[in-house]
Chain A
Amino acid sequence: MEFEPVIGLEVHAQLRTDSKIFCSCSTQFGAGPNTHTCPVCLGMPGVLPVLNRKVVEYTIKMALATHCRINRENSFARKNYFYPDLPKGYQISQYAYPLAEEGGIEVEVEGGKRRIGITRIHMEEDAGKLIHDEHFPSSYVDLNRTGVPLIEIVSEPDIRSAEEAADYLRRIHEILVYLEICDGNMEEGSFRCDANVSLRPRGQEEFGTRAELKNMNSFRNVQRALEYEIKRQQYVLEAGGEVVQETRLWDDAQGVTIPMRSKEEAHDYRYFPDPDLVTIAVSDAWIEEIRGTMPELPLEKRERFLRDYQIPPYDAGVLTTSRALADYYEEVVRLCGQPKVASNWVMGDILRFLKEDKRDIRDCPISAAALAEMIRLIEDGAISGKMAKEVSEEMYRTGKPPQTVIAEKGLVQITDEGALAAVIEQIMAANPTQLAQYRGGKDKLFGFFVGQVMKATQGKANPQLINDLLKKMLA
């Protein structure tokens, strides 16, 4: 029997607000344990939460970007469970009345486009973290992360393959980062994902029993975990077994999913409306105000690049992976007027340099203006494409503008016809045998003369000019 995977994803994204969701503590990552805390996020007796308006604003941005319906009245609920990283004994989250519902985004797999529905987007607070002592039987609690704002983005079970899941995640990630509401850092936990996956015989409407996958901290791991889990469930079903509804953890080292102990998941969260917080009223005016501040989103940008710059879809895709890269590219194009050449340079050398150094485009030593200038110098014939490779490397290394690099390295191309003709004369005189052979019909020797000219000019001669002159003079 052929099985079809049914996958839904839950993404938790930390919002990049300066302060926490219900108090004014800093959200900065990496501070000393418990230094970004106050009585409110420590859950001390008698203290009360006050909602950070920025959190609502950021969530509305994500809702607009993913075409969700924004609930004009939404509210917080308490999710009750005991754990030392949860100082109040409950997490303030949204349950019955989330901020946004019924949206979706487009993903692309194997050339085809599909819409993946988004069930809901809601706001909540993050929990702290436990640090276990390796040498001593005790654990420490760091509550810096407690109260850092999160949004949870829940997809519909519309995803049909591990690859599609990975693409969906990349798109969500891209939007969050584009909106500048999440830094997208998966290692620091700013962007996390859980997956629900089940199989059903192809053609069947009804869903199979699902497993929930956790502990996948990269796009690649999400894809690997899903691929593994799909196969695992397939084996179980083909062997006539039944999939158990459970939570499974991805074990990266072994490349398998393993069941979580059932005790750890037997939770009844006893959600109920949080009486300490009032209903959040979202006015049309507020939504429109926020809509006015929305940047162009990746999909829109990609389409515009295709249209305006006439570059291949692949280029448009790469150049719009981040807002900063797209801005860089557009600035280069604006200054040099050559979209495809600019794309080649940005996608080729620039991205390669940055990748080697693990640098962001925002920290690129070659400014967009400098790159555009270099492209113009190639166009003007001041330097050859080959020389430009050397120039760009030097520009990246030193941060100097192209003219400076060219001057320092003495790289100016010889475009003076008279000077070059004199060089050629000398070479012809110095190589009478080869000249005679060439003239006798041995065409291959043309390359020998090109090489000699290049050697004599230390590669600075304009290749086109060499060609033209040689053809004329050797004949």
Chain B
Amino acid sequence: MELYSLTIHELQEKLRAGEVTAADILDSVYQRIDQVEDKVHAYITLMKEAAQAQAAAADTAIRNGDIKALTGIPIALKDICCTQGFTTTCGSRILHNFVPPYDATVVEKLRASGAVFTGKANMDEFAMGSSTETSSFGVTRNPWDLTRIPGGSSGGSAAAVAADECIAALGSDTGGSIRQPAALCGIVGMKPTYGRVSRFGLVAFASSLDQIGPFTKDVEDCAILMNVIAGYDPRESTSVNIEVPDYRSFLSRGIEGLRIGIPREYFIEGIDPEILASVRQAIAVLEKAGAKCVDISLPHTEYCLAVYYIVAPAEASSNLARYDGVKYGFRSQEGRDLLDMYKQSRSAGFGDEVKRRIIIGTYVLSSGYYDAYYKKASQVRALIRRDFDEAFKKCDIIATPTSPTAAFRIGEKTDDPMQMYLSDIFTISANMAGIPGISIPCGFTGDGLPIGLQFLGGHFQEGTLIQAAAAYEKTAGMSALIARQKQAKMNFA
């Protein structure tokens, strides 16, 4: 067994036992990167030298008996997380040379826990996309089938974990950007409750929806990373100051008696039949293990996508105004005067999808349209939130497919934004309501592509999601299935 294929908890055991060093682990991961990165293209920037120094420091710490939660564990960061001294591009030409003088809070926390950073992972430009095809730095390919997309926007992070180019990764989720690529790459991805993980240092896309979360190979690793990154941050006003439980303590609680809500609006036509069957099968497994299924309704589901494509672009149009060529990042040298400099810099610096959303967002906030679009959308958003409040009176978690399809082919949806937007139809509602969600692997299509099962929970109920996910993973023997599939299918040819 190669070290790169192991999980955080497996590696930590070996580190504690003195069987391996952090340097060994990093070497193994970098060997893997050397093997497959030119095919997968999960990274925008590799941080090998700094990582070697971190690994050396980890080994020193271990020798001194100082092992923290992530000591010596190679982790990839979505290139939306600011890293002091290392380029943070957000997948955009306009930030191609931006080096932040600060770390994001999550980066600080990972550093403090002894993590080793492999590099900055590719992503859709400013996290706008569901396929990682809108990146200014090239497409990331799905390790399960290199002709397919890894999902998005955190496709680089997901692909890096799935291809063993890191042990775990961080991503960000504004409408499904962690859960959907996790599903399409056959790994675990969690979007925490809004306010649970600090957004400080996360380059903003839609501030009321963005949330950072982990990509891991199994549920236990998800709990380990959540233990590190969750918590109040005085530098973020929307961060919530409530106690963080030990998420690992939920891993072995089982599923007996847990009420699982099945929302009728999420099991509809248009879902790939293989996916529907796999998710239903997973629910049956849970029921057999002692969970109780409850039929629930989330009546405003049909408006989620529309509301999202008003609220998110509106916030984005404002958040992205700072990229004007004045202070940092890309500035066009063509500008004749100030206005022209703005226009040239932004025209050349942003890609099409980002421009599309800036235009939509500007439009819905414009005088005369605000009430009809932004204001109305905010009102409907409140109704969507209420749907979940009502639903969680009847159940503990909600189960749905993560994505209506498995990984699609590169280029398949790039010319049809509406089709692309539908990729997030099951994930967007959690961001609208601010609730946590997790995607875990629940099987494979006939073509050998991973399928994801999504659990949603009430505010700050990440523990319950981890509990259910861990129970399912164990009962379904998922880790072994994935390992077998990987052996058989993941060949990078």
A47, B321: Cβ atoms closer than 8 Å: no
Q: Does B237 lie within 8 Å of A39, measured CB to CB? A: no
**Pairwise interchain contact A270-B328, C-beta atoms closer than 8 A:** no
Q: Does A49 contact B (CB under 8 A)?
A: yes
CA–CA, A284 and B206, complex, Å = 34
A46-B367 in contact (CB<8A): no
Is A235 interfacial (CB 8 A cutoff)? no
Q: Which residues of B contact A90 (CB under 8 A)?
A: 318, 321
Decide if A208 is an interface residue (CB 8 Å cutoff).
Answer: no
Q: Which of B95-117 contact A (CB under 8 A)?
A: 95, 98, 100-102, 104
Complex interface residues of chain A between 26 and 48 (CB less than 8 A to chain B)? 39, 42-48
The verdict on A47 contacting B365 (CB below 8 Å), with A80-B321, A82-B321, A272-B370 known, is: no
The yes or no answer to B342 lying at the interface (CB within 8 A) is yes
Whether B82 and A80, one on each chain, are in contact in the complex, defined by CB atoms closer than 8 angstroms, is no
Contact of A268 among B100, B104, B324, B367 (CB under 8 A): B367
Contact A276 B200 (CB under 8 A): no
The answer for the CA separation of A78 and B82 in the assembled complex, in Å, is 24
Number of A-B contacts (CB under 8 A): 101
Which chain A residues lie closer than 8 Å to B202 at the CB level?
46
**B237 and A50 form a contact (CB under 8 A):** yes
A48 B199 Cβ-Cβ under 8 A? yes
Binary contact readout A421-449 vs B (1 if CB under 8 angstroms, 0 otherwise): 00000000000000000000000000000
Q: Which residues of A contact B88 (CB under 8 A)?
A: 45-46
Verify B322–A80 contact, CB threshold 8 A.
no
Contact of A47 with B201 in the complex, beta carbons under 8 Å: yes
Interface range, A side: 20 to 34
| Cβ of A277 under 8 Å from chain B | yes
Known: A45-B82, A84-B338, A276-B207. A89 touches B322 (CB 8 A): yes
Which residues does chain A contribute within 8 Å of B272, judged by CB atoms?
none
Query: B320 — which chain A residues lie within 8 A by C-beta?
Result: 89
Q: Do residues B365 and A272 form an inter-chain contact, with CB atoms below 8 A?
A: yes
Beta-carbon contact of A80 and B318 below 8 Å: yes
Given contacts A78-B318, A89-B318, A276-B237, contact A270 B204 (CB under 8 A): no
Q: Which residues of B contact A80 (CB under 8 A)?
A: 317-318, 321, 365
* B88, B237, B327, most chain A CB atoms within 10 A: B237
How long is the Cα–Cα vector from A390 to B104 in the complex, in angstroms? 69
The docked-state distance in angstroms from the alpha carbon of A179 to that of B30 is 63
Minimum Cβ distance to chain B for residue A149 (Å)? 16
- In the assembled complex, A88 has its CB within 8 A of some CB on chain B: yes
Q: 0/1 per residue, B218-234, Cβ < 8 Å to A?
A: 00000000000000001
Whether the Cβ atoms of B365 and A43 lie closer than 8 Å is no
Given the interface pairs A42-B327, A45-B322, A268-B367, the reply to whether A50 lies near B234 with Cβ below 8 Å is yes
Q: Is B53 an interface residue (CB 8 A)?
A: no
Given that A39-B102, A45-B88, A87-B327 are known contacts, is A278 also in contact with B238, CB under 8 Å in the complex? Answer: yes
Cα A333 to Cα B342 with chains together (Å): 63
Q: Does B314 contact A (CB under 8 A)?
A: yes
Is B203 interfacial (CB 8 A cutoff)?
yes
Known: A47-B201, A89-B324. A275 touches B82 (CB 8 A): no
**Bound complex: CA A272 to CA B204 (Å):** 16
CB atoms of B237 and A277 under 8 A apart: yes
A82-B324 Cα distance, complex, nearest whole Å: 8
B237 touches A45 (CB 8 A): no
Bound CA–CA A271/B366 (angstroms): 8
Question: C-beta contact mask, A267-298 vs B, less than 8 Å → 1, else 0?
Answer: 01011100111100000000000000000000
A51 CB within 8 Å of chain B? yes
> Do A87 and B318 touch (CB < 8 A)?
no
CB distance from A130 to the nearest CB of B (A): 10
Report which residue of A47, A82, A88 has the largest number of chain B beta carbons within 10 angstroms of its beta carbon.
A47
Q: Complex Cα distance A87/B104, Å?
A: 20
B314: nearest chain-A partner, CB-CB? A272
> Residue on B with the closest CB to A44?
B100
- Tell me the complex Cα distance, A275–B210, Å: 11
Out of A47, A78, A88, A270, which one reaches B102, CB within 8 Å? A47
Chain B nearest Cβ from A43, distance in angstroms? 5
B366 to A268, Cβ gap below 8 A?
Answer: yes
Q: Is B238's CB under 8 angstroms from A46's CB?
A: no
B210: nearest chain-A partner, CB-CB: A275
Inter-chain contacts of B462 with A (CB < 8 A): none
Do residues B237 and A46 form an inter-chain contact, with CB atoms below 8 A? no
Contacts of B258 in A (CB 8 A): none
Is the Cβ of A46 less than 8 Å from the Cβ of B203? yes
Contacting B365 at CB < 8 Å: which of A49, A84, A89, A270? A270
Chain A 86-118 residues near chain B, CB threshold 8 A: 87-90
Kindly state the separation between the CA atoms of A82 and B314 in the bound complex, as whole angstroms.
16
Q: Kindly identify, within residues 439 to 460 of chain B, every residue whose CB is under 8 Å from any CB belonging to chain A.
A: none
Complex CA gap A248/B95 in Å reads: 39
Is the C-beta of A141 less than 8 angstroms from some C-beta in chain B?
A: yes
Q: Is B266 an interface residue (CB 8 A)?
A: no
A8 CA to B273 CA in the complex, in Å? 66
**In whole angstroms, how far apart are the Cα atoms of A90 and B342 in the complex?**
15
Interface: B235 (CB within 8 A)? yes
Question: How many angstroms between the C-alpha atoms of A277 and B318 in the bound complex?
Answer: 14
| CB interface residues, B 306-341, toward A, < 8 Å | 314-315, 317-318, 320-322, 324, 326-328, 338
Interchain CA distance A277-B321 in the complex, whole Å: 18
The answer to whether A270 and B237 have CB atoms under 8 Å apart is: no
Give the CA-CA distance A84 to B365 in the complex, in Å: 22
17 example contacts (A-B, Cβ-Cβ < 8 A) are as follows: A39-B100, A44-B328, A45-B90, A45-B95, A45-B98, A46-B81, A46-B203, A48-B237, A82-B321, A82-B324, A87-B322, A87-B327, A270-B365, A275-B206, A275-B315, A276-B237, A278-B238
9 A-B pairs besides A268-B367, A272-B370 with CB distance below 8 A are A45-B82, A46-B88, A49-B237, A84-B324, A89-B320, A270-B318, A272-B315, A272-B318, A277-B238
Give 10 nearest A-B pairs by CB, closest first: A89-B321, A275-B208, A270-B365, A275-B207, A45-B203, A46-B201, A46-B203, A268-B367, A46-B82, A43-B322
